[in-house]
């Protein structure tokens, strides 16, 4: 079984497949060692980790290199963050082929308008459909027809109100599935009721994100497991937890001048811990 086939099987059998997002090889390896069965790359987290001011500043080549490092570091399937495909449908095809060539088992493609100032929006539905069709054709041309294409919509995130946002998200997700996406990802889900509505109305595998600042208090993994989701993405936990641990470690030194505080707070790993990461 190839990694693409394994990821496809996991999306059907796990229901939901819990996928933390990695931002480098080390975080990916820790995700695997923790027992998770697949890794989702995060452009947002990668950008933070390499010092970009925004995710828009993370270039395609840098994204590709970090993703390749992640794939090489683990033995579980890795889904790449293809952002918006980095351009028109023709460019999307090139993007997909590049990620396929480094061993990605799946790719996330979004309809959010990137690299734009002011209020965020989404591209025309028909244009996103063309991108998904181009992505599917590119995968087939690479003889990787099992590549998981995840069609992400930010319609709910940018909507003026939640009701109209849910309606448009459902309509877009349905079109994306009909066009060749294997999975659809609706961002900005805040409540359990919203998750249930989306899972009921969208005629295919659905993914949402949890553990975010806007829903960490309203969505639990246990509750979401009963919603009929195919995947739960944890897109910021790894990088945010890392940032907080580093802040806490350095604060304990600057404020207390006591290295033993690092042991008390359990912020130091052992050589045995490091050995398990190799």
Which of 102, 203, 210, 92 is closest to 149 using CA atoms?
Answer: 92
CA dist list (Å): 250 to 172, 255, 276:
46, 8, 25
113 Cβ partners below 8 Å, 6+ apart?
Answer: 84, 120, 121, 122, 123
Q: Same domain for 251 and 131?
A: no
Cβ atoms of 155 and 172 closer than 8 Å: yes
Cβ atoms of 60 and 86 closer than 8 Å: yes
Q: Give me the domain span that covers residue 173.
A: 3-235
Instruction: Tell me 159's DSSP state.
Output: -
Q: What is the pLDDT of residue 117?
A: 59
d(CA 89, CA 222) in angstroms, rounded, equals 38
Instruction: Tell me 114's DSSP state.
Output: -
Q: What is the pLDDT of residue 255?
A: 87
Q: What is the pLDDT of residue 168?
A: 98
Q: Same domain for 98 and 178?
A: yes
H-assigned helices in 14-88: 25-33, 43-49, 60-73
Cβ atoms of 104 and 79 closer than 8 Å: yes
Q: Same domain for 180 and 262?
A: no
Q: What is the CA radius of gyration of the chain?
A: 19
Q: What is the pLDDT of residue 116?
A: 63
Q: Same domain for 112 and 200?
A: yes
In sequence order, what E strands does the chain have? 17-22, 39-41, 78-81, 106-110, 148-153, 183-186, 206-209, 231-234
Cβ atoms of 67 and 78 closer than 8 Å: yes
Residues in the chain: 278
Q: Same domain for 161 and 186?
A: yes
CATH label of the domain that carries residue 74:
3.20.20.60
Q: Same domain for 32 and 134?
A: yes
Q: Same domain for 61 and 95?
A: yes
Q: Same domain for 135 and 34?
A: yes
Q: Same domain for 183 and 256?
A: no
Q: Same domain for 69 and 158?
A: yes
Q: Same domain for 86 and 202?
A: yes
Which of 176, 154, 181, 171 is closest to 8 using CA atoms?
Answer: 181
Q: Same domain for 199 and 263?
A: no
Dihedral angle over CA of 137, 39, 153, 116, nearest 10: -90
Cβ atoms of 83 and 91 closer than 8 Å: no
Which of 167, 181, 168 is closest to 133 using CA atoms?
Answer: 181
Tell me how many domains the chain contains: 2
| pLDDT in single tens digits along all 278 residues of the chain | 999 999 999 999 999 999 999 999 999 999 999 999 999 999 999 999 999 999 999 999 999 999 999 999 999 999 999 999 999 999 999 999 999 999 999 999 999 998 765 668 999 999 999 999 999 999 999 999 999 999 999 999 999 999 999 999 999 999 999 999 999 999 999 999 999 999 999 999 999 999 999 999 999 999 999 999 999 999 999 999 999 999 999 988 888 888 887 888 787 777 777 777 76
């Amino acid at each position: 079984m190839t990694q693409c086939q394994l990821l496809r099987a996991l999306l059907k059998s796990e229901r939901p497949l819990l996928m933390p997002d990695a931002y480098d090889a080390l975080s990916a390896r820790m995700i695997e060692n923790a027992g998770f069965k697949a890794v989702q790359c995060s452009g947002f987290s990668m950008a933070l980790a390499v010092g970009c001011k925004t995710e828009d500043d993370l270039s395609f080549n840098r994204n590709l290199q970090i993703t390749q490092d992640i794939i090489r570091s683990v033995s579980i399937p890795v889904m790449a963050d293809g952002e918006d495909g980095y351009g028109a449908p023709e460019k999307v095809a090139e993007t997909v082929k590049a990620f396929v060539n480094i061993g990605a088992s799946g790719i996330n493609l979004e309809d959010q308008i990137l690299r734009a100032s002011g209020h965020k929006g989404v591209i025309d539905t028909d244009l996103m459909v063309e991108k998904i069709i181009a992505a599917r054709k590119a995968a087939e041309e690479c003889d990787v027809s099992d590549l998981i294409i995840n069609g992400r919509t930010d319609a709910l995130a940018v909507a003026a109100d939640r009701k109209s946002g849910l309606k448009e998200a459902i309509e877009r997700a349905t079109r994306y599935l009909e066009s060749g996406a294997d999975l659809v990802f609706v961002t900005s889900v805040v409540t359990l009721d919203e998750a249930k509505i989306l899972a009921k109305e969208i005629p295919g595998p659905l993914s949402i994100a949890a553990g975010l600042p806007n829903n960490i208090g309203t969505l639990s993994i246990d509750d979401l497991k009963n919603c009929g989701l195919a995947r739960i993405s944890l897109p910021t936990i790894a990088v945010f937890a890392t940032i907080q641990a580093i802040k806490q470690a350095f604060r304990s030194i600057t404020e207390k001048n006591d290295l033993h505080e690092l042991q008390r707070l359990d912020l130091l790993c052992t050589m045995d811990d490091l050995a398990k990461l190799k």
